[in-house]
Structure 1
Amino acid sequence: MKTSAFLYPWDVVGDPDAAARTAALGVRSVTLAAAYHSTRALTPRHPRHRIVTAAHAALLYPSALATRDGNGEGRPLRPYAAGSWADGDAHGEASAALRDAGLEVHTWVVLAHNSRLGAERPDTSVVNAYGDRYPWAPCIAQPATRAYLSALAADAAVRPGASGTELESLGWYGLAHLHAHDKIAGVALGEAAQYLMSLCFCPDCGAGYLASGLDADALRDTVRRALEPVWRGTEGAEPDGAWAAVEKLLGAERAAATRAWRDATARGLQEETVSAVRAAAPDGFQVLLHADPVSYHCGANAGVDPAHILSVADGVVVPCTGGTSLLAPFADARADAVVAANLTVVTGMGGSPATLAEDAARAAEQGATELRLYHAGLASDGDLDLVRQGLDAL
């Protein structure tokens, strides 16, 4: 199977050995970040640093689309320029070095995940039933946000020398998010409660609910009442992840209406964004989405309908560190699609590089056609040795 490793530009820029070391793993390509959210990242082999702090979501290359002075009230939404963590054309420099080492490069573009945008323009954020805003989560129902995301994707995806792109968080983002110094684990939330806490009640979503036959105020009250047992710690035992639990909390008709609105909103954004990328890209440019086959799920791996998304994109990248069960719905939906199993190979992040060959074999049985390895820049030398051995075994 074709295998690609994830990297950040700062893993390569300033390290003359990085490209050759990555090629020596046995991968054929690299998925290289071109637009990324804020992060603090380890660089365990870099000759100049060990920690890179990317202070906010940014383009990792120079662009006329980017702003340095922010997204003030009344201004059109624009992506941010990077700071010192991606000086100059960091993506372009890293991409050239990787291609010189014989590796194919695909861009990695993070979209609906931007805490700085939410801080500067709180009106763009998802707002829950209690009126709390999620600054990391731009509401994808808002026309200005949708236009911004499509423009960002078209600009960041089609970088010089790139053979394709992988679009992350192209859908709803909700409550689940590793925020700085997170303190939200005091009450355990099952998937049904996560869904309720991720419903947005901004004016655009309110209008969407109304068009779906729902009154936003009544829905908000229903969500609050349904969550009361959660906050008291007396929530009944419901099968985690079952849509039936959401139907029980909201009522089947109301639950279906919220899901239909949100699914249609995400599908429209995905169609618009992929079309924008294809219009900017050369022939043969591959477009993949990081995706989850359960459409009401939120996050970096956008919840999608497999048949729909594979009629729009060339394929998907599917999270498989916890198991390979999410692959089959995509493999069954379209025989010639790319279905890439995303395996974490960083032991300290819960990955298992020692079982890479076995995990890849299980993924193939579930329909995976390719592998993604997260993340060659973050992994220790020992982890990379195990990756090399695993790929050799394959």
Structure 2
Amino acid sequence: MKASAFLYPWDVVGDPDAAARLAALGVQQVTLASAYHSTRALTPRHPGRRIVTAEHAAVLYPPGAARWAGRALRPYAQSWVAGDDPFAEAAEALAAAGLQVHSWVVLAHNSRLGAEHPDTSVVNAYGDRYPWAPCIARPDVHAYLVDLAAEAAVRPGTAGTELESCGWYGFAHLHAHDKTSGVTLGDAAQYLMSLCFCDDCRAGYASVGLDAGELRAAVRRALEPAWSGAGAGERGWAAVEALLGAGLADATLRWRGQVAGRLQEAAVAAVRGAAAGPDFQVLLHADPAPHRTGANAGTDPAHIMATADGVVLPCTGGDAAREAVLGPFAGRPGVLAANFNVVSGMGGSPGTLERDAAHAASLGAEELRLYHAGLASGPDLDAVTKALSAVRGG
């Protein structure tokens, strides 16, 4: 199985040994961030630093002046990695070590955008804005994300890209110092908390036969038991229908699916239009349940596999978790990449990677993604090296 490790440019820039160390893991590819959200990241092996604070979402290359001239929504430049083009510098070093480089592009996840342009954000049924979650139903947001995808994906030296958050973002998010776990919300309640009621979405609901005011009231009624302590930990689409009613629930999903599908189709087409040739690979970080929100955007498996070259699926967890995400895609043409967290301190399990990779392969996965080579400890990387050696031997 082809294996790729996720990496930030700051893991490589300023560290002359980083590329060779990555190649020694046994990976063939690096998925290198070119557009990323705010984060605070440890750099345990870098010779000159231990912490990088990316204060806001930004691109890690110089954004094109002509593309963004005169536009209110445009990518933000970074200031926390030395050099004019840290992505290009890192990509060149990795390629020199024999590693193929694919870009890693985070799209609908940008807290600074929401802070500076509040009208771009998702608005929940209570009127609260989610500044980290741009509403992809807005024409200006759609246009911005499509152009960002094309520019950030097709960087010099890249052979492909992975688009993260290419769909609806919602309630669940590690935002600053989150204080949201006092009430248990399953993914059904989180779906309701993620429904947007901005002007564009209100008009969208009307297009599928819904009255936005009545829908908003129904969402608030459905969530009331959670706030009174009765809990709303149910999971799955059937639970959404039970909370909201099947008719209302299905209509919201129909509208949101149309919006997400248009963004995904447009983003993939823009990337392909910017690429130098037909061999440039375009994958999406995805979830097979269309109602899911977040970094792994909810998708319709048949639609997304007909749109992109394949998907990257979250496979950390037990056998049942892998079966749930890989099963709906199995047998469809396109790349299935199983994404495993290999950072023990972040809930990963590098010690079981060999066994987990074999199970993923039995379900149809043909590539591995390892999150995250820059964040992992030395023992975690040793376990990855051992596992990948066994996978190649098998």
TM-score under structure 2 normalisation? Answer: 0.96
Match of 2:350? 353
Given that residues 128 and 201 in structure 1 are in contact (C-alpha distance below 8 angstroms), is that contact kept between their aligned partners in structure 2? yes
How far is the alpha carbon of 1:64 from its aligned partner?
Answer: 2.0
Q: CA deviation at 1:67?
A: 11
Deviations 1:267-297 (A, max 9, x none): 0110011000000002210000000000000
Q: Please give the secondary structure, in 2, of the residue aligned with 1:327.
A: helix
Which letter does structure 1 place at the counterpart of 2:379?
Answer: G
Q: What corresponds to 1:98 in structure 2?
A: 94
Contact 2:102/2:162 (8 A) holds in 1: yes
Maintained 8 Å contact 1:65/1:78: no
2:158 to 162, 165, 172: 162
For each residue in 1:124-165, what CA deviation from the matched residue of structure 2 results, as whole angstroms up to 9, or x when unmatched? Answer: 000000000000000000000000000000000000010000
1:235: Cα distance to partner? 3.9
Q: Separation in 1 of the partners of 2:183 and 2:67?
A: 39
CA gap of 1:189–1:251, structure 2 versus 1, over 3 A, is: same
User: What SS does the aligned partner of 2:330 have?
Assistant: helix
C-alpha distance in 1 between matches for 2:149 and 2:334: 21
Which residue of the other structure, out of 305, 324, 327, is the alignment partner of 2:322? 324
Match of 2:26 in 1: 26
Q: What is the 5 A alignment of 1:36-75? A: 36-65=36-65, 75=71
Task: Determine helix, strand or coil for the equivalent of 1:82.
Answer: coil
* Distance (Å, rounded) in 2 between the aligned partners of 1:62 and 1:75: 16
Is the CA contact 2:2–2:28 (under 8 Å) kept in the aligned structure 1? yes
Q: For residue 364 of structure 1, what is the aligned residue in structure 2? A: 361
Q: Output the CA distance in 2 between the equivalents of 1:252 and 1:84.
A: 48
Question: What's the CA shift for 1:241?
Answer: 1.9
Amino acid at match of 1:4: S
CA distance in 1: counterparts of 2:85 and 2:74, whole angstroms: 18
Residue aligning to 1:241: 235
Picking from 238, 261, 264, the partner of 2:255 is 261
Q: Does 2:333 match 1:339? A: no
Distance 1:184 1:290 in 2: 25
Counterpart position of 1:303? 298
Distance 1:86 1:30 in 2: 21
Amino acid at match of 1:338: V
CA contact (8 A) 1:293 1:330 kept: yes
Percent identity (aligned): 69
Report runs of 4+ in structure 1 exceeding 3 Å deviation.
Answer: 65-68
Which position in structure 2 is the counterpart of 1:77? Answer: 73
Q: Provide closer, same or farther for how the CA distance between residues 13 and 297 of structure 1 changes in structure 2, counting only shifts above 3 A.
A: same
Contact 2:284 2:312 in 1 (8 A): yes
2:66, 2:173 → 1: CA distance? 25
Report the CA distance shift for 1:86/1:359 in structure 2 as closer, same or farther (over 3 A).
farther
Structure 2 unpaired stretches of 5+: none
Q: 1:45-99: CA deviations, max 9, x gaps?
A: 000000000011001011225999xx9xx95311111113353110000000000
Partner secondary structure for residue 84 of structure 1: coil
Is 2:179 aligned against 1:183?
yes
Letter in 1 for 2:287: D
Over aligned residue pairs, what C-alpha RMSD do you find?
1.6
Partner of residue 9, structure 1: 9
Contact 2:185 2:231 in 1 (8 A): no
Change (3 A) 1:122 1:305: same
TM-superposition CA deviations, 1:159-218 (whole Å, max 9, x none): 001000000000000000011111010000011110100000000000000111001111
Q: Which amino acid aligns with 2:376?
A: A
Give the aligned residue type for 1:372: R
Measured in 2, the distance between the counterparts of 1:199 and 1:148 equals 21
Distance 1:75 1:106, change over 3 A: closer
State the alpha-carbon separation in 2 of the partners of residues 151 and 305 from structure 1: 23
Moved more, 158-167 or 84-93: 84-93
Shift of 1:352: 0.7
Cα distance change of structure 1 residues 21 and 84 upon mapping to structure 2, 3 Å threshold? same
Residues 358 and 111 (structure 1), Cα distance of their counterparts in 2 relative to 1, 3 Å cut: same
In the alignment, residue 382 of structure 2 is paired with which amino acid?
D
Quick one: which amino acid aligns to residue 322 of structure 2?
Answer: T
Match of 1:204 in 2: 200
2:134 maps to amino acid = P
User: In 2, Cα distance between the equivalents of 1:62 and 1:281?
Assistant: 18
Secondary structure in structure 2 of the residue aligned to 1:174: coil
8 A contact 2:53–2:80 mirrored in 1: no
Q: Distance in 2 between matches of 1:112 and 1:248?
A: 29
Q: Which moved more, 1:321-330 or 1:257-266?
A: 321-330
Distance 1:374 1:86 in 2: 24
What's 1:292 paired with? 287
Q: Is the 8 A contact 1:65 1:79 kept in 2?
A: no
Deviation at 1:233, TM superposition (A): 1.2
